[in-house]
């Protein structure tokens, strides 16, 4: 499945870089989740979007915990990440 986190960012670019790096490192250490990239969508209201491919909905939570505990990733700071939403896509299977 694919997961996305769309979010608005109010921190500095350096803080965003640190935030992304901690997420990437957390995903690298967590089985079943593959960090794709940080995107800046042109057709959405959000500042940024972060994407993962996972084998389980809860993998992002495991990766986030690793990011926070081992790589200094911050939890939700409302002055930096003012708004966020997750989306989840599952592969479509045609009926038999």
Does 74 score more than 70 pLDDT?
A: no
DSSP string, 36-64: EEEE--SSSSSSEEEEEEESSTTHHHHHH
7: closest CA among 52, 53, 49?
A: 49
CA-CA distance, 61 to 54, in Å (whole number)?
Answer: 11
Q: Considering only residues 28 and 76, tell me which one the structure prediction assigns the higher pLDDT.
A: 28
pLDDT at 75: 63
Tokens 């870089």 identify what position?
Answer: 17
pLDDT at 41: 84
Q: What is the pTM of this model?
A: 0.83
Does 26 score more than 80 pLDDT?
A: yes
- Cα angle value 75/51/19 (rounded, 5°): 35
Mean pLDDT of 37-47: 90
Query: What integer best gives the mean pLDDT of the chain?
Result: 90
């Amino acid at each position: 499945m694919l997961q996305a986190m769309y979010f608005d960012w109010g921190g500095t670019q350096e803080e965003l870089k640190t935030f992304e790096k901690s997420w990437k490192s957390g995903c690298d250490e967590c089985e079943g989740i593959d960090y794709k990239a940080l995107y800046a969508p042109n057709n959405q209201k959000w500042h940024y979007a972060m994407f993962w491919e996972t084998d389980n909905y809860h993998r992002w939570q495991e990766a986030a915990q690793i990011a926070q505990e081992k790589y200094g990733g911050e939890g939700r700071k409302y002055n930096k990440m003012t708004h966020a939403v997750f989306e989840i896509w599952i592969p479509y299977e045609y009926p038999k």
